[in-house]
Amino acid sequence: MKKLFLFVILFTSSFTFLHGQVFYHPIVGVQNSYTGTCMSTTCSATYYDDGGSGGSCTTSDIFGNYSNNINGVLRTFCPSTPGTVVQVSFPVFCIEGGAGCPYEYFQLIDGPTQNGTVLAAGCGTGFQGLTFVSTHPSGCLTFRFWSDDLFNYTGWQANITCVAPPSGYGPGPNSTSNADCSNSTGICSNGYSFSGLSTGPGLTSDGCNGCVTSENFSNWYEFTIATSGTLGFNINPTPTTCDYDYSLYLANTCSGLGSPVRCSYAATTGTTGLGNSAVDNTEDVLGDGYTSLLNVTAGQHYYLLINEWTPNNGSFNFTWTGTATIQTPIPDFAISSTIYNSGSTYNVCQNSPLVLNASGAGGSTFTWWTAATGGTQLASGTSYSPSTASVGSTTYYLQETTSSGCVSARSSITVTVVATPTVNSITSQTLCAGQQTTA
């Protein structure tokens, strides 16, 4: 369930920095969860309790301005630079203390999830002057706070930077992983299932404008509808105790995602997806893991976020249901502005110029081959000019890779080079009426 877990303390030495961005701790969880806001990516920030700077921790003059009754609400910071991890130092830290921290309590969690490994936990001035570094593969750190309804102290100022991962840890996010929408993996057919595994939320926070409160361990996919119908799917986690969520967006670009058309942030574990007789379009942690099938139209383009909430780095298997089909790229050939489908033939005179042009989706790349599978690559690019010096037939193969990463089967065209006809010369003759001659 998307609820709480516990502690243990471990620290390192201190540092103090000044930083450009300013963030504050949230005081209320969203979507019936403890997550106060979507994860933030930064390598230069100052992070305060919700009251900001100010307050006093002097025994004779204790006061503060953070809120009462904050109930374990959390916030996550992840690095915005590839190959780095978040480092945090506390030049200021003072909350209400007491043996066993019965009044106010602060946790620092390694990674992007609520129930990850606790690096440090405590109260009073326990974090003052200390520095911590993420050892999680994502490079993220998560901060959690409880306050009571009585005394407020100074709170905290935390300085956030990014550093190289500690030896033996990391590697931190990279700029090519499909943990970010901009690197989404193209789904080319619903005739097969696929699997996914993620080490974190990536370098950007793309999927927080729906029921999913924050990316944790995310994979992004995109696909185009080939034939209209109903769209459904199942996400089957391994192990089955993993909690997976999803958001489905009708959009042509990552910058225009908008609100998801289907979304589940249910606290259930095991299989989740679209279908299973569900009637709702979106659900928070109180949902059952399923939303309704979606009616889709040929040509529509979708982005799909699959997000693991549990911190045990599980994996999933994805299968399609419903009646709609997913578009598989099939490149065509163009010769002198005429389109030729796969399997076509074309005749050309010997030694005549010939240019085969590729016709496919915008943004695609193309390669030219000698065989339907394997073979030798002849060229890359949108055109290829085969030799027409020798008489005979040759089949050329064209493969398309779309901007979303879908790789087509190879289309074929057979080019037959025919000998140029010759005409025998005729000598000039003078004929009288009634005479005949032969060429």
Query: Mean pLDDT across the chain, nearest whole number?
Result: 89
How sure is the predictor about 114, in pLDDT bands with cuts at 50, 70 and 90?
very high
Please indicate, yes or no, if residue 9 is contained in any of the structural domains.
Answer: no
pLDDT in tens, 258-288: 999 999 999 999 999 999 999 999 999 999 9
Q: Are residues 313 and 409 in the same domain?
A: no
Q: Are residues 247 and 345 in the same domain?
A: no
Q: Are residues 270 and 317 in the same domain?
A: yes
Residue 5 has pLDDT above 50, yes or no: no
Q: Quote the CA–CA distance of 87 and 78 in Å, as a whole number.
A: 10
**Per-residue tokens: 219:** 């994979």
- pLDDT value, residue 11: 34
Residue 154: give its domain's CATH number.
2.60.120.290
The whole domain housing 90 covers 21-163
Residues 318, 233 contacting (CB under 8 angstroms): yes
Q: Quote the CA–CA distance of 6 and 224 in Å, as a whole number.
A: 44
- pLDDT value, residue 331: 86
Average pLDDT over residues 205-233: 93
Higher pLDDT, 314 or 86: 86
Residue 87 has pLDDT above 80, yes or no: yes
Q: Are residues 298 and 340 in the same domain?
A: no
Average pLDDT over residues 167-171: 91
Please indicate, yes or no, if residue 355 is contained in any of the structural domains.
Answer: yes
Least confident of 52-56, 212-216, 322-326, 360-364: 360-364
- pLDDT value, residue 61: 67
Q: Are residues 257 and 359 in the same domain?
A: no
Please indicate, yes or no, if residue 434 is contained in any of the structural domains.
Answer: no
Q: Are residues 137 and 194 in the same domain?
A: no
How sure is the predictor about 4, in pLDDT bands with cuts at 50, 70 and 90?
very low
Residue ending a domain, among 264, 291, 326, is 326
Q: Are residues 235 and 364 in the same domain?
A: no
What's the 3-state SS for the chain?
A: CCCCCCCCCCCECCCCCCCCEEEECCCCCCCCCCECCCCEECCEEEEECCCCCCCEEECCEEECCCCCCCEEEEEEEECCCCCCEEEEEEEEEECCCCCCCCCCEEEEEECCCCCCEEEEEECCCCCCCCEEECCCCCCCEEEEEECCCCCCCCEEEEEEEEECCCCCCCCCCCCCCCCCHHHCEECCCCCCCEEECCCCCCCCCCCCCCCCCCCCEEEEEEEEEEECEEEEEEEEEECCCCCEEEEEEECCCHHHCCCCCEEECCCCCCCEEECCCCCCCEECCCCCCEECCEEECCCCEEEEEEEECCCCCCEEEEEEECCCEECCCCCEEEECCEEECCCEEEEEECCCCCCEEEECCCCCEEEEECCCCCCCEEEECCEECCCCCCCEEEEEEEEEECCCCCECCCEEEEEEEECCCCCCCCCCCCCCCCCCCCC
Q: Are residues 315 and 354 in the same domain?
A: no
- pLDDT value, residue 2: 52
Q: Are residues 51 and 135 in the same domain?
A: yes
Please indicate, yes or no, if residue 267 is contained in any of the structural domains.
Answer: yes
Higher pLDDT, 325 or 433: 325
Residue ending a domain, among 278, 303, 326, is 326
Please indicate, yes or no, if residue 91 is contained in any of the structural domains.
Answer: yes
Please indicate, yes or no, if residue 242 is contained in any of the structural domains.
Answer: yes
Residue 15 has pLDDT above 90, yes or no: no
Please indicate, yes or no, if residue 255 is contained in any of the structural domains.
Answer: yes
Q: Quote the CA–CA distance of 204 and 254 in Å, as a whole number.
A: 11
* Residue linked to tokens 């007789």: 277
Higher pLDDT, 78 or 53: 78
Residue 193 has pLDDT above 60, yes or no: yes
**Per-residue tokens: 214:** 């924050």
Q: What are phi and psi of 183, to 5 degrees?
A: -115, 25
Least confident of 144-158, 195-209, 230-244, 254-268: 195-209
Please indicate, yes or no, if residue 397 is contained in any of the structural domains.
Answer: yes
Residue 285: give its domain's CATH number.
2.60.120.380
Question: Rounded to whole angstroms, what are the CA distances from 156 to 10, 66, 126, 143, 387?
Answer: 18, 10, 11, 12, 73
Q: Decide: pTM greater than 0.85.
A: no
Q: Report the relative pairing of strands 217-227 and 185-186 from DSSP bridges.
A: parallel
Q: Are residues 159 and 267 in the same domain?
A: no
- pLDDT value, residue 140: 97
Residue 184 has pLDDT above 60, yes or no: yes
Q: Are residues 409 and 307 in the same domain?
A: no
Closest CA to 379 of 394, 396, 364: 396
Q: Are residues 344 and 314 in the same domain?
A: no
Domain count, the chain: 3
- pLDDT value, residue 17: 42
Residue ending a domain, among 277, 308, 326, is 326
pLDDT in tens, 380-436: 999 999 999 999 999 999 999 887 778 888 999 999 999 987 766 656 666 566 656
